[in-house]
């Protein structure tokens, strides 16, 4: 019986999760270096994904970063900066699970050992007035990328050993909480019915990357930590989408610094 005949959607059909990919990030990077005449230069062991790009823009405005000349990703630039004595590589504007995981694959193939993602998100179950942060312990798999890495299930979970090490390390007030998010591929299809269903599951916020990144982490035994920066109520109020001073970059980097210090 074919996938179509048994009504299995293509996103779930024909997957062999233990089978290696024919197309590997190392192969892509090898050919990119050849085309660009670039040397193989490792990225920093600590890397940061900044889907909104606000952290990158602020760091560049402050003159705190330099371009990583060995980063040959076709789609992005990597910038390098110092954070509390740790060298950090940061890539901005990789929005959505598929793009974020593509970049993550290339980061780990290039020498990354710990990846932190800080993405803006919409409030689902209020935990105070935005902005505030959530250390994502699990993410609802309402996107496509995770199903290429793990068999079907409702959730992608953060690496447990990282959560254990971070317990109490990055804040214990309302500014930084731990909880679940909903990862969606379609931010403009967040209907009232979908929001109510997410609230019933105890979900705190909606974002676009964590489920894919955590599935990648589990499948590849990689260290990944995802943070949601709850900045909005999905435009339902005037004056929404405010992150705070410097578009929230300083506060986000302070939390990243605590994570790197504890896990490094």
Identify the pLDDT of residue 200.
98
Tell whether 176 is covered by a domain.
Answer: yes
Q: Is residue 255 part of a domain?
A: yes
Question: What is the overall mean pLDDT for the chain?
Answer: 94
pLDDT tens digits, one per residue of 7-17: 899 999 999 99
pLDDT tens-place string over residues 91-103: 999 999 999 999 9
Q: How confident is the model at residue 65 (pLDDT cuts 50, 70, 90)?
A: very high
Assess if residue 4 is contained within a domain: no
Kindly tell me the number of DSSP H helices and DSSP E strands found in the chain. Answer: 7, 10
Report in angstroms the alpha-carbon separations of 251 from 85, 206, 229, 243, 246: 17, 20, 10, 9, 9
> Residue 34 belongs to what domain range?
26-233+246-263
Higher pLDDT: 225 or 245? It is 225
pLDDT band of residue 235 (cuts 50, 70, 90) is: low
Residue with the two structure tokens 């779930």: 12
Kindly tell me if the per-residue pLDDT of 168 is higher than 90. Answer: no
Q: Is residue 146 part of a domain?
A: yes
How confident is the model at residue 114, as a pLDDT?
98
Instruction: Write out pLDDT tens, residues 251-262.
Output: 999 999 999 999
pLDDT tops 80 at residue 241: no
Query: What is the per-residue pLDDT for 261?
Result: 96
- Read off the tokens for 251: 């506060």
The total domain count for the chain is: 1
Per DSSP, the residues of 208-240 read SSHHHHHHHHHHHT--EEEEEEEEESTT-STT-
Residue-wise DSSP of 108-153: HHTT--EEEEEEEEEESS-SSSSPEEEEEEEEEEESSGGGGTS-S-
CATH code, 147: 3.40.50.1580
pLDDT for the residue numbered 173:
57
**Quick one: pLDDT band at residue 233, thresholds 50, 70, 90?**
confident
The residue with greater pLDDT, 248 or 101, is 101
- pLDDT band for position 207 (50/70/90)? very high
pTM here is: 0.95
Instruction: Please say if the pLDDT value at position 1 is more than 50.
Output: no
CA distances from 67 to 1, 79, 112, 141 (A): 52, 4, 16, 34
Separation between Cα atoms, residue 32 and residue 58, nearest integer Å: 29
pLDDT of residue 3: 46
Can you give the pLDDT at residue 240? 62
Residue 158 lies in a domain: yes
Q: Is residue 5 in some structural domain?
A: no
Per-residue pLDDT band at 171 (split at 50, 70, 90) = low
Q: Which of 264, 256, 83 is nearest to 170 (CA)?
A: 256
In this prediction, residue 4 carries a pLDDT of 52
| Rounded Cα–Cα distance for residues 195 and 43 (Å) | 39
Residue 201 lies in a domain: yes
Q: Are 225 and 210 in contact (CB under 8 A)?
A: no
CA distance 201 to 182: 10
In a domain, 10, yes or no: no
pLDDT of residue 238: 66
């Amino acid at each position: 019986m074919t996938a179509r005949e048994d009504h299995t959607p293509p996103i779930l059909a024909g997957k062999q999760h233990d089978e290696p990919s024919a197309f590997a990030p190392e192969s892509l990077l090898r050919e990119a270096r050849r085309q660009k005449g670039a040397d193989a230069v490792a990225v920093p062991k600590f890397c940061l994904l900044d889907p909104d790009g606000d952290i990158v823009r602020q760091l560049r405005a402050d003159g705190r970063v330099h371009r990583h000349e060995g980063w040959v990703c076709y789609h992005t630039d990597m910038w390098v900066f110092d954070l509390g004595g740790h060298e950090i590589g940061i890539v901005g504007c990789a929005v959505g699970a598929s793009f974020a995981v593509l970049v993550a694959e290339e980061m780990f193939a290039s020498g990354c050992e710990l990846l932190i993602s800080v993405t803006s998100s919409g409030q689902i179950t209020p935990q105070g007035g935005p902005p505030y942060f959530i250390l994502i312990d699990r993410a609802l798999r309402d996107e496509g990328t995770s199903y290429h890495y793990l068999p079907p299930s409702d959730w992608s979970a953060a690496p447990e050993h990282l959560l254990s090490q971070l317990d109490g390390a990055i804040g214990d007030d309302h500014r930084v909480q731990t909880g679940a998010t909903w990862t969606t591929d379609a931010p403009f299809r967040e209907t009232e019915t979908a929001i109510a269903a997410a609230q019933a599951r105890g979900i705190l916020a909606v974002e676009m990357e964590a489920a894919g990144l955590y599935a990648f982490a589990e499948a590849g035994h990689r260290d990944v930590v995802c943070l949601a920066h709850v900045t909005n109520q999905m435009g339902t109020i005037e004056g929404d989408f405010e992150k705070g001073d410097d578009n929230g970059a300083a506060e986000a980097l302070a939390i990243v610094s605590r994570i790197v210090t504890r896990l490094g």
